[in-house]
Structure 1
Amino acid sequence: MTENTRPAAATVAGDLRVVLAQLVRRLREQATGSDLTKSQSAVLGRLERDGAGTTTELARAEGIRQQSMAAIVAALDGAGLVSGSPDPKDGRKTILDLTEKAREEFRTGRLAKEDWLTQAMSSELSPAEIEQLRVAVELIRRLTKA
């Protein structure tokens, strides 16, 4: 990167961070009815992405104490969003996974977010701008892998 592109990249980086945060907030607004904390949502998201795991594995992955994770898991279990089953390799451990209720809430929430975003794009952007956005998405995807 040359000296001339460094300020431009820094400006774009700042603008991109702000705009993406605003978009994330708007998308979150579309999934109504959730009383989950950020920590609870993060655990559900991790279970959805990575699959079933123990409380210890989840705590390690989220960078929190096992006792804190146990409290989060208890709340999610009480809400019917996770369930546990004995680990077939070590019966002392419990493998946690999403319930069908949690999976349905993920599907419903995603559809609401995508419906809103599709509607917003269709009403606010021209076909050429939607194509520009498609290209930008690919660039952002590359950045996430850097």
Structure 2
Amino acid sequence: MADEIDAEKTAAALRRAVSQVKRRMRNSRTDDLSAAESSVLSRLDRNGPDNIAGLARWDQVTPQTMGATVAALEARGFIERRPDPADGRRFLLSLTPAGVRQLHDIRDAATDKIAAALREHLSPEEIRLIRDAAPLIERVAQYL
């Protein structure tokens, strides 16, 4: 029973911490992409080309909603469509070089902001603890 209580308390603390980091990072962004647009760029970067229906499933939105997001990213030159070799009626979406640069710029800015906060407000021992916990947090995320 003690393990269940610890797991519940740890889960609640982790959820609060991750939510606060996400909220603060989202509120401090200086780029002009929406959260949905950033999500699509990240998903295409991680998983490779996909179609609108697949992206919509990942983000749990309708294909129509995803279509508007994709159109905005296409208009800015961040993603491109190509015919799906497995199904000629569909298109696959992928990042353009400009989309890759945009995504990397966003990620680099976030990493720099977190690194500055770590250096400024945490001890080297605390930074090591967070570094060592990061792979465990990623592992937990895989099971959600």
Same fold (TM over 0.5): yes
Aligned partner of 1:107 in structure 2 is 104
Please, what is the CA RMSD of the aligned residues? 2.2
Larger relative contact order (CA 8 Å, sep ≥ 6): 1
Amino acid at match of 1:11: K
Larger radius of gyration: 1
CA contact (8 A) 1:82 1:102 kept: yes
Q: Secondary structure at the match of 1:129?
A: helix
What is the CA–CA distance in structure 1 between the aligned matches of 2:106 and 2:76, rounded to whole Å?
17
What is the CA–CA distance in structure 2 between the aligned matches of 1:136 and 1:123, rounded to whole Å?
20
Amino acid at match of 1:40: E
C-alpha displacement of 1:89: 5.0
Structure 1 residues 113 and 61, CA gap change in structure 2 (3 angstroms):
closer
Out of 77, 81, 101, which is 2:78 matched to? 81
Aligned partner of 1:40 in structure 2 is 37
Counterparts of residues 1-146 of structure 1 (less than 5 Å): 3-36=1-34, 38-146=35-143
**TM-score when normalising by structure 2:** 0.81
**TM-score when normalising by structure 1:** 0.81
Greater Cα shift, 120-129 or 39-48: 39-48
Alignment length (residue pairs): 143
- The alignment-based identity, stated in percent, is 35
Deviations 1:3-49 (A, max 9, x none): 1232232222112111111111222244312242x333322222111
